[in-house]
């Protein structure tokens, strides 16, 4: 039975849960009941895997009680209850218990699924320092002379070298390690990841001391990032003995260095956290990460693999994961400010280096009063300041054409004057008319024919003037076109939004440019007069202003032609950065822009219009994106001028992140989208 479109399992996700039950010390029957209560809650929420704390069936803080036969027998009986009850649960349960095999006691993680024990992982590294005395009670898994055990009538693989793979759910490979194992220089999970494990789970008890929670987070984040994996972490919670220790019940879910979910600490109540892990994203990252595969070749880890059939939850299951509407713009104000600072300074330092290398001191730039030229201009102004050169060395030209509005022209003049650059206006209409006459274009005879030639003649005349002005003044032409326009091919080949001597906006998408200008205003990079002009430019609708408007035709709107930039930048990020199939991008986009489980709004948009896009709209503009990006635009990207890579989201330079043939067909992307995405 095929999964519905609105199910995470259709799009390469699994739902993970980390549970922190209440425990009673040395009361396995009570602890098993508490474990099963949270396991049922996780199962009802569609979790594929649910992690519990270290030694959670017996409790961790038993000390020498672990050597009491009565406790060990009761623990095994409680485990049998959990195994039996698991037949009715969706989740793989990862539970912790002390288990005795061949005369030695091991601190074990047990993977239980549908009445079977898939694997048992003993703790490898036993802490025996400060408050820890685990070697007093337990034997390290490294000392075991066997690799399977008999338990509850089953023969089960035993060892830290066991991974578990779902045969019918691609990329779902699971591995367990226990607490201290991840504190070591080379954790067992590192070898598991190199052997294909994508979901790494740590059953931990981990008492709390001041500052330890941050250390745990850093450790889990780093391990998930280095292993290009998800990392689930549990810590013992309410009920553990406080004779000499305290416990905070810390639960974490990371994916490739990104925190997906974190529990409340010091809660008096049992709790479960959930997050949806993107297995396809992990697979995509590993595929690109050549150093990861070099490490596999170097270590050649020898791991065993248990195969099992996973019963995929049926029915709709919306995404339970924060998906930012603006992937190029962090929602967290502190992080966003840091990223804007970095982006701005990368652009400035790139331009500084270019001017230094050519021994140039002058910049020629076309200033339209639009977003892109505005941002390029303020980068140029800051560059001159850093170089100790006068801003008059920036030669700014506004070049009104047949459709230039008074508002944008006024903003262009006001901004140039406020920044103190050398400003001029060149009316390109006479030279455009001459070109149109030379072409025999009907407009030159008074007919209102506003075709692509009419538009490109204006764009071409502006570019021709800028390059000759640069020759005349011994300067370079600063490009203004951005990453979004390049992705969509919304630029005229060989003209100003495509060609220049250097382009500081080359890898900056439209949405980030908007936020960069907001950041320039909020951090007072310039004076109040300049800030007011910048805000006016932000408030102006995006338009090429090449076709005149009248009573019947409104202003020429870019986004009505190529789609909302906030949607298209979303599409660009997930298709170029991760190579996701269009149907998955549509699912993510719908989750972010319409479904309530999507991301939050950046604070800078708190007072502006907040758009919401249904699935039909998402599909419509993603279709446009796929056609333009894969079908008709690559030849423009194959010859772009130099410009600095700004963000990890990538660039489309053929010398950088993106190399593609100029004559590929978009068919496979369009077919995949149209066949797999419904209208609602």
How is 11-35 classified by DSSP, letter by letter? Answer: GTEEEEEEEE----TT-HHHHHHHH
> Using CA atoms, how far apart are residues 652 and 499, in angstroms rounded to an integer?
14
Residue of 195, 191, 155 whose CA lies nearest to 173: 195
Spatial neighbors of 298 by CB under 8 A, at least 6 apart, are: none
Spatial neighbors of 438 by CB under 8 A, at least 6 apart, are: none
Burial (CB < 10 A; 0-12, 13-18, 19+), residue 5, is: middle
How far CA 432 is from CA of 91, 330, 435, 626, in Å, comes to 69, 43, 5, 34
List 10, 123, 382, 584, catalytic entry:
123
Q: Give the SS3 label for residue 364.
A: strand
Secondary element (H or E) of residue 602 = none
H helices of 420-564, where? 429-439, 452-473, 483-488, 510-522, 528-538, 559-562
How is 32-99 classified by DSSP, letter by letter? Answer: HHHHHHHHHHHHHTT-SEEE--TTTTT-STTGGGGG-HHHHHHHHHHHHHHHHHGGG-SSEEEEEEEE
Q: Is the torsion defined by CA of 505, 507, 511, 513 positive or negative? A: negative
> Using CA atoms, how far apart are residues 413 and 462, in angstroms rounded to an integer?
16
Name beta bridge partners: 151: 154
List 10, 54, 177, 262, catalytic entry:
54
Is 54 assigned a catalytic role? yes
Specify the residue for token string 């793989």: 92
> Using CA atoms, how far apart are residues 475 and 510, in angstroms rounded to an integer?
27
Is 179 assigned a catalytic role? yes
Name beta bridge partners: 154: 151
List 108, 179, 432, 626, catalytic entry:
179
- Looking at residue 560, what DSSP letter applies? H
Is 342 assigned a catalytic role? no
Q: Take residue 228 and report the two structure tokens written for it.
A: 């290009």
Active-site amino acid positions: 54, 123, 179
């Amino acid at each position: 039975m095929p999964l519905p479109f609105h199910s995470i399992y259709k799009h390469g996700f699994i739902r993970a849960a980390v549970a922190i039950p209440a425990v009673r010390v040395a009361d396995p029957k009570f602890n098993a009941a508490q474990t099963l209560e949270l396991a049922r809650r996780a199962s009802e929420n569609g979790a594929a895997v649910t992690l519990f704390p270290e030694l959670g069936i017996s409790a961790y803080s038993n000390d020498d009680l672990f050597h009491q036969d009565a406790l060990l027998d009761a623990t095994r009986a409680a485990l049998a209850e959990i195994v039996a009850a698991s037949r009715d649960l969706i989740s793989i349960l990862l539970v912790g218990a002390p288990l005795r095999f061949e005369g030695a006691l091991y601190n074990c993680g047990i993977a239980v699924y549908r009445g079977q024990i898939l694997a048992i992982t003993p703790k490898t590294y036993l802490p025996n320092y400060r408050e820890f005395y685990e070697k007093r009670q337990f034997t390290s898994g490294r000392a075991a002379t066997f690799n399977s055990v008999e338990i509850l009538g089953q023969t089960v693989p035993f060892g830290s070298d066991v991974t578990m793979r779902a045969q019918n759910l691609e990329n779902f490979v699971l591995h367990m390690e226990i607490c201290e194992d991840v504190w070591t220089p080379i954790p067992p999970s590192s070898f598991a990841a190199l052997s294909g494990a994508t979901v790494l789970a740590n059953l931990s008890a981990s008492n709390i001391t001041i500052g330890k929670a941050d250390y745990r987070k850093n450790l889990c984040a780093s391990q998930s990032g280095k292993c290009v994996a998800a990392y689930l972490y549990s810590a013992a919670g309410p009920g553990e003995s406080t004779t000499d220790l305290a416990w905070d019940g810390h639960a974490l879910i990371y994916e490739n260095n990104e925190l997906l979910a974190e529990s409340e600490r010091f809660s008096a109540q049992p709790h479960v956290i959930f997050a949806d892990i993107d297995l396809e994203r992990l697979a995509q990252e590993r595929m690109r990460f050549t150093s990861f595969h070099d490490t596999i070749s170097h270590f050649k880890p020898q791991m065993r693999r248990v195969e099992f059939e996973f019963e995929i939850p049926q029915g709709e299951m919306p995404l339970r994961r924060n998906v930012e509407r603006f992937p190029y713009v962090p929602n967290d104000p502190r992080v966003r400010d840091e990223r804007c600072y970095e982006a701005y300074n990368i652009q400035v330092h790139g331009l500084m280096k270019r001017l230094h290398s050519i021994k140039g001191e002058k910049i020629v730039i076309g200033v339209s009063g639009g977003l892109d030229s505005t941002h390029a201009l303020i980068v140029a102004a800051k560059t001159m300041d850093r170089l100790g050169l006068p801003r008059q060395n920036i030669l700014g030209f506004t070049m009104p054409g047949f459709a230039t509005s008074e508002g944008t022209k006024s903003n262009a003049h006001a901004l140039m004057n406020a920044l103190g650059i050398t400003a001029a206006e060149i009316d390109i209409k006479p030279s455009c008319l001459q070109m149109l006459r030379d072409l025999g274009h009907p407009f030159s005879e008074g007919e209102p024919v506003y075709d692509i030639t009419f538009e490109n003649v204006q764009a071409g005349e502006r570019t021709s003037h800028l390059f000759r002005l640069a020759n005349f003044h011994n300067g370079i032409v600063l490009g203004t076109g951005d990453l979004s326009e390049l992705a969509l091919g919304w630029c005229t080949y060989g003209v100003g939004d495509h060609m220049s001597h250097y382009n500081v906006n080359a890898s900056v998408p439209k949405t980030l440019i908007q936020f960069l200008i907001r950041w320039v205003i909020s951090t007072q990079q310039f004076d109040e007069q300049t800030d007011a002009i910048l805000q006016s430019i932000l408030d102006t609708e995006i338009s090429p202003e090449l076709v005149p408007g009248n009573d019947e035709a409104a202003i020429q709107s870019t986004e009505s032609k190529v789609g909302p930039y906030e949607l298209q930048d979303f599409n660009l990020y997930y298709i170029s950065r991760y190579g996701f199939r269009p149907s998955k991008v549509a699912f993510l986009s719908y989750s972010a822009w319409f479904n309530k489980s999507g991301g939050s709004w950046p604070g800078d948009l708190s007072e502006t219009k907040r758009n919401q896009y249904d699935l039909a709209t998402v599909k419509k503009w993603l279709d446009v994106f796929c056609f333009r990006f894969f079908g008709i635009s690559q030849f423009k990207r194959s010859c772009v001028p130099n410009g600095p890579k700004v963000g990890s989201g990538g660039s489309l330079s053929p010398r950088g992140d993106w190399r593609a043939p100029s004559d590929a067909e978009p068919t496979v992307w369009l077919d995949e989208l149209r066949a797999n995405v419904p209208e609602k």
